[in-house]
Each structure stands twice: as C-alpha cells, then as structure tokens.
Chain A
C-alpha cells in the first residue's frame, strides 16, 4: 500500500472503474446496467399485467379486442367494459401503485431506514382516520352526507395524511430531524391514529362502520374516471418535481456533517423530500384507501433487484404499479364473486417475495 501512494500525480485521468459515463451534450449520468434491466423488466411486466387487467374478468375480451377498443373500435359492450369499467380501475391502480412505490422509496432513502414508510410513519393511517371521521359522522349529519362522502372523502383523506406528516415532522424536529427520532415519533403517531380510527368505528353506526372498513382495507372497486383524473394530474406535477429533487438524495445517504459538507442544506432537502413523499402517499390513499405494504415492500424489492445501495426511485415506482395492478387482477379474477380488496392481495403477494429476498441475501452474506 505504501508503494501505491507514490502513484504519479497529474497523470491523465483514466476511466473510473464501474462508472460508465453516458453523456449527451451538457447532460451526463452514469450508465448502470442492472438497474436499467430491472426497470425494463418491470415495465414489461407492468404492460403485461395491465393488458391482462383490461382483458380478463367476467366478460373476457381478447387482447386484440382490447387494443381495438382502446383505439376507438369495438362494440358497445366492449367499450363499456374496457373504457368505463376496467381502464379507469386499472389506471387508478397503476397511478396509486406508482405513487406508493415512489413515496416509500423516497421515505426510506431519506430516513435511511428500510422500516420507514408512509404506512409506518402514520401518513396513511392519518389519512384513514380523517376519512373515517367523515364516513362515520356523515351518517348522523344526514343531508350533507352524500356530497361529503363522494366529493370530499378523497380531499379529507389527503388533508389528513399531509397534516399527520407535518405533525410528525414538527414533533421529531429538534434543530434537525434525526432519523431514529422520526421513526419513533411516526410509529407513535401511527398507533394514535389507528386507535382513533378504531374508536370511531365502534361509536359509529354499524352501516357506516362497515363502509369505513371497506374503505380502510384499500380497494379499487368501482373506480371511475373521477378517481383517475385528480390523482393523475397531481402525479403529473409531483413525480417530475420529486425526481428533480432526487439528485440530493445521493448525498443525503451520509451522516449530517458529510451531507452539509457536500453542499446540501440537509434540513431543507430532507424536509422537502419527506413532504413530497407524504403528499404522494396521501394522494394514493385518497384515491384507493390505504393499500397496505406497497410503500414498505416495493422499495426494498426494487433495491435488491436493482442492486443499488439505496432504493431506486423510478424502479420502485414501476414495481409499485406492477404490484398494485397485479394484485387487483388477482383479486378480481381468482376469487370469483368474492372480490377481495386489493390491499389484502398486495400484502399476500409482496410479503413472501420480500421475505424470500431477505433470506436469500442473508445466505449470500453467510457463504
């Protein structure tokens, strides 16, 4: 090693091993093969599952028929099933899954803890609690219930989720946000909101409580274009914004001093990214209820598949969409008229895969 220190200085810089440049004009990045393959694989899988989601069901349509209908053809029955029933539902699933995957990836990368996710930090449950308040009290309020329930519910959930996130952030703030403290406060807030929800369910009318329960499991049943458009528009704005901010994410992986030393205003960057993640998760929850496990598991699945040191954002997004659309397909087709809520299926599909990856990884380490 002493010898190697004496390498001549100022020698023409060679290539840096393992960092293949990809440069077009002023734009430059590092070409990473494995994440790219993971991304393309995820996109292919998503396309397949999405197509199946449009084609399969009680009224099966051939893939060609689906394609024809999407481009303006098809008979009245096909048009109704594909364009009015299945497409908005599948799109909602895709958007919600993408939002949850991205939100989870950002949260885990910023907090530097694989257990941190909007589910565990109370964002999703906060949204759920707010929605439950509306569902349970709307029955007793009579007249306005219809309007509030149909128009205001997603908005209430959105506000509830963001408010919980801000509250967690404020409670955890002490001259800076310590990751560990944030997770602890988040878990506390999570318990609090879950208990509030349960309390609301017990005091509410049985019928309202039932409706609330269905919403709380996370479901894509009967999603129409009214559900797709707001989520879609919000994501159209938020996703590019978060991805632009994600350059700082690489530097945020270190301890606070190193992060600052690298020229990143650590508190502002963390706060902005976490707020973005909270808005994404709240939006998803507002559209489809709290779909469990997606935000927690997909970033870890994406990380292990792509072989990166932190959850890859775009891959997590695609995997999240794949998981939710796939879970919805399974819940619609495999269980006949039962129609399991998608939240149950995401957990059932995602959990074994995550466990497999974890076990597999530990084996690698041991050998």
Chain B
C-alpha cells in the first residue's frame, strides 16, 4: 500500500492527500533537491516508517507534524543521512544520500538534532565556529570565509554579545539560538530542524520560528522542521506533512492539511479549526477529552462540526 492510498483512506476530503497536490504540482519530480523514494526506516526489527515518498519542495518551510512515535524524527534523521534506510532511498540532488560522503552531505545539508550535547565549558563562538567543520581542513581551521559566516550566523540569531560566554551558562532560549547559529554557520541551503522549539517558552518559540521564517524569506533556504505545536506549525510552515504510523496521512498548505477530520484521524483529537485571528492560518482549538473517552453521543464526530 502506498502513502497516497493511505491518504485517500484517511483524509479523502483533502486535495493534499495525493501526490498531485496543488502547491507542489509544478515543482514535483526531479526539480526538488531533497526527495525520499519508497523509504522504509526502523531500528533493529522494528519498522517505524514504511514505504514513504516525499518531495521537499525547494525554497519552502515544511513542517512535519504527527502524534508521538509516528516516525517524524526518524524521517528527519534519514533525510539528514543519520539513519540508513531499510529499503528505498533518500535522494539529494538526484543522488542516493547514503552513497555520498559524510562531508559532502554536510556541505549541502545541515541538521539540528533534537537535544544536541555540547562539551562542558565550550564557548558560544567556538560552538558556532564548529559548524564550519565541513569546510575546513587540518591546515585551514579559521579562514576569512569561516569568520564571516560565523559572524553572520551570530548576528542573525542575535547572540553576538554572548560569543564569549560558555554554552552551559546560557538560558534555554539562548542555547537554542547558539545551536541554530551553528547550523546556520554551516552555510547549507537545506536545513533540517528536529523540534527547534523544545523546552522554550512561548515567546522564545515565536522568536526562533520568526527567525527561521526570515532565513527562508531572506536567503531562500529550504527548511524542514519537526514541530509539536500545530498552531505554530500552521503559522510558520508553507507546507505541512502530517504523519501517522510511519506514513504520510496528508501534505500540502496548512489550510488544506489541518482539518478537523485529520485531527481526528491522525491525532485522535476532537478539535475545532478556526482561522487564526492574526494570520488567518488554521488554529486548532481542542474540544477536550480523547475521542475514545468521549461520552456525549450527539457529538458524532469532529467531522460533522465546523467548516
């Protein structure tokens, strides 16, 4: 069964369900730099992602959403060459990413893991400078290019003043910016971010996402990020990919993907979807109580409500 079959079964109302969605119709195929074909992933015997096809549309911010354990992070790790596929392949510029050298990939694609670990006592400037590693050699450890890339990354995230500080002295929000700066200093067109807003309070979440949005609008980078917060995902992503049990349940513009029906099918959540009063993007308002525990019979299903 292919991903599009599943999508038809689960969210047949969405045009985004099939591969031929309106947003990507023109840019589909060989045009996109990062693609997954018939991708199956897992750890040991356990299969987490099964037969998935995905085109990351160039120059967009793609938000990957889905319930816990649906394979979002696993997919992201495979896209970043951190996990070898059981079957199928990830194509970067048309070439299977697992046949490319680690360094080659690192010059094209940057990835920020979910909870990266820095050595104790490392200073922010040195952390960010480490992002230049793929561009360096043993005799070339701090070139002019390195310096300007690091300085620009620090100023983009607004932590230039903290360059001297030790990473472990920083607050959660500052630390996340430091790591983001490191990924930026790497100077890649493609950026994969695994829950870049974890452990941040709402204002810092918004800060980081605004920054990611600006990266994309100002330097045309392609960003794929896994996000838990559906409303922020809808607001800051151009496209959403909703995953369920290792497959893509729906993909496309947030307005088409985030429907009450999908929330019910994928997240087992009863919710209303209303327009965000600020941006007009979908805003998910949970009704409360999981579907399975729902007691009021007249609420036959979330699909009957709203829209």
Residue numbers of A with Cβ under 8 A of B are 1-11, 13-19, 21-23, 26-30, 112, 244, 246-247, 250-251, 253-255, 257-258, 260-265, 308-310
Residues of A within 8 A of B31 (CB): none
Asked if B62 lies at the interface with its beta carbon under 8 angstroms from chain A, I say no
Asked if B137 lies at the interface with its beta carbon under 8 angstroms from chain A, I say yes
Please determine whether A261 and B106 come into contact, CB atoms closer than 8 angstroms.
Answer: yes
Please determine whether A28 and B203 come into contact, CB atoms closer than 8 angstroms.
Answer: no
Stretch at the interface among B45-53, B155-163, B296-304: B155-163
27 chain-A/chain-B pairs, Cβ below 8 angstroms: A1-B174, A2-B203, A5-B158, A11-B155, A13-B148, A15-B147, A17-B125, A18-B123, A18-B125, A18-B164, A21-B142, A23-B142, A23-B143, A26-B140, A29-B141, A244-B138, A246-B138, A253-B122, A254-B116, A254-B118, A257-B82, A257-B116, A260-B81, A262-B130, A263-B103, A263-B104, A309-B123
Please determine whether B125 and A7 come into contact, CB atoms closer than 8 angstroms.
Answer: no
Residues of A within 8 A of B149 (CB): 13
Stretch at the interface among B32-40, B87-95, B107-115, B281-289: B107-115
Asked if B274 lies at the interface with its beta carbon under 8 angstroms from chain A, I say no
Q: A13-B148, A17-B163, A261-B80 are in contact. Are A309 and B137 (CB under 8 A)?
A: no
Asked if B119 lies at the interface with its beta carbon under 8 angstroms from chain A, I say yes
Asked if B133 lies at the interface with its beta carbon under 8 angstroms from chain A, I say yes
Closest Cβ of chain A to B128, distance in Å, is 8
Select A262's contact among B106, B119, B152, B164, beta carbons within 8 Å. Answer: B106
Closest Cβ of chain A to B60, distance in Å, is 19
Q: A28-B141, A254-B130 are in contact. List 8 more A-B contacts (CB 8 A).
A: A14-B160, A17-B125, A21-B142, A247-B137, A253-B118, A254-B118, A257-B77, A263-B133
Please determine whether B119 and A258 come into contact, CB atoms closer than 8 angstroms.
Answer: no
- Distance A11 CA – B131 CA, assembled complex (angstroms): 20
Closest Cβ of chain B to A3, distance in Å, is 8
Please determine whether A13 and B147 come into contact, CB atoms closer than 8 angstroms.
Answer: yes
The 7 closest A-B pairs by CB, nearest first: A263-B106, A4-B158, A13-B148, A263-B134, A13-B151, A263-B103, A257-B113
**Size of chain B's interface in residues, with CB distance under 8 A?**
68
Residues of A within 8 A of B77 (CB): 257
Name the CB-closest residue of A to B158. Answer: A4
Residues of A within 8 A of B136 (CB): 247
Please determine whether A255 and B113 come into contact, CB atoms closer than 8 angstroms.
Answer: yes
Closest Cβ of chain A to B17, distance in Å, is 32
Please determine whether B133 and A262 come into contact, CB atoms closer than 8 angstroms.
Answer: yes
Please determine whether A261 and B113 come into contact, CB atoms closer than 8 angstroms.
Answer: yes
Asked if B189 lies at the interface with its beta carbon under 8 angstroms from chain A, I say no
Closest Cβ of chain B to A102, distance in Å, is 16
- Distance A309 CA – B118 CA, assembled complex (angstroms): 10
